[in-house]
A and B are shown apart, each in its own frame.
Chain A
């Protein structure tokens, strides 16, 4: 019973799940949208951002994508809304609103 993580979902019967929940591959967090726990959502103001990259290593998840030398908008699929990035941003480029606002 060697199933790939992508083949297992919330309607999989027990016969089609791996024994003991073993996972036989890496990077499977991409398949799981853990951002749904969030109660507050970060808002990125691109005009204020100086791309200092301070927020990137402070993010406890990996919700701040960087391409080249540019910090892009949040990956909300995995952001838990902890607010650390807002606290560390020296330029006020990150604000927080309630989820859904």
Chain B
């Protein structure tokens, strides 16, 4: 029996952590992720978990704590946002290259500057090449479900990679919604025990972690990481399948919404999907063949699968909630358009950077984008590829 509750995204993730009962939490507050260590501290104080709750002096240290704990043979979690993730930057690479499956709850917030506490994806998108699996949620339910799947994915012997479970700051993290929680026993069974083959506290087996690599060895270890990221793809689907069995909720690399006969579509990540879905329904009611693809797994990037999902479209708009300052489009656009290149007939593709620093994304905005796609289909001309929407302009 699942438990019906109403929780914010932060509460949902803290509750998932409580059910998992990790060995160590590296705890440091930063808006809007602060509530996660805050709620969890209460669980610790109430004796509901056995976790060693380490209050550190910075995010550099919280990730270092997680790396040490995970290398020792424990399960380590942390939560952060924005500048906190940026301060972890070096350690993100240490965790992934040391192949330590740390789990990080990333509550997405704009990365300074100008300083801003609201949502966009510039923090985690900046860390996209750090070798972490990245899974994004639309809702509190998805944040909870994704967090429960993180450890079985990251700890899988074919994978051994850290996992970042992302949700939109404030919109998802502080918005209270209905949620279905799994019972503690089901979570314990599903997540299981962490059983690494080698770990520092295994006294019969001396171990060194993270040694220096000279040129003759470095590239081979980076290829191991790249292969692990490829191997994560089938593991993510397998874990999603197992999760569906215990929860009844189905997950994949992305969600295709009304894409069967769609001629135009939006591709996006996170909470904006709810808004885009409303726009799709409205336009469908007017007889327009529109759809949406909501990406869940950004790392590993589901290149072939995404291309196949978009192959039938005439034009698509990739919505980036992060600037990349490439002067050529945002990160999701670059990868999505690259995925389309291998198709024999490709949809035309444009990019919209939107929603920066918490700028609203409305049904009207989504309709404006679909109208721009109609124009491209009608004229056969793509026009400007790299666009912004939602900003004031003369």
Contact = CB atoms under 8 A, between A and B. Distances in A.
B206 A25 contact: yes
Given A22-B198, A24-B198, A14 B208 contact: no
Contacts of A20: 97-100, 160, 209-210, 221, 224
Contacts of A2: 197-198
Interface string A5-29: 0001010111001011111111010
Instruction: Determine chain A's interface SS by DSSP, over half rule.
Output: loop
Interface residues of B, number: 23
Interface string B198-221: 100000011111110100110111
B223 interface: yes
Interface in B300-347: none
B220 A13 contact: yes
Contacts of A28: 208
B207 A14 contact: no
A26 B206 CA distance: 6
A21 B213 contact: yes
B373 to A, nearest CB: 44
Interface residues on A, range: 10 to 19
Contact of B220 (A12, A22, A24, A25): A12
Contacts of B213: 21
Contacts of B216: 10
A21 B211 contact: yes
Interface in B212-266: 213, 216-217, 219-221, 223-224, 227
A22 B209 contact: yes
Contacts of A23: 207-208, 211
A22 B211 CA distance: 7
Q: With a 10 A CB-CB cut-off, give which of B205, B216, B220 has the most chain A CB atoms.
A: B220
B207 A21 contact: no
A23 B197 CA distance: 13
Given A10-B216, A19-B160, A24 B221 contact: no
Nearest to B208: A23
A12 B99 CA distance: 20
Contacts of A26: 206
Nearest to A14: B220
A2 B202 CA distance: 15
A24 B207 contact: yes
B220 A19 contact: no
B97 A14 contact: no
A87 to B, nearest CB: 28
Given A2-B197, A20-B210, A14 B205 contact: no
A25 B205 CA distance: 7
A19 B217 contact: no
A13 B217 CA distance: 9
A19 B206 contact: no
Contacts of A8: 217
Given A2-B197, A24-B198, A19 B208 contact: no
Interface of B: 97-100, 160, 197-198, 205-211, 213, 216-217, 219-221, 223-224, 227
Given A14-B224, A24-B198, 16 more contacts: A2-B198, A10-B216, A14-B223, A17-B217, A17-B221, A17-B224, A19-B160, A20-B99, A20-B100, A21-B210, A21-B211, A22-B198, A22-B208, A24-B205, A24-B207, A26-B206
19 contacts: A8-B217, A12-B220, A14-B219, A14-B224, A17-B217, A17-B220, A19-B99, A20-B98, A20-B99, A20-B100, A20-B224, A21-B217, A21-B221, A22-B99, A22-B208, A24-B198, A24-B205, A24-B207, A28-B208
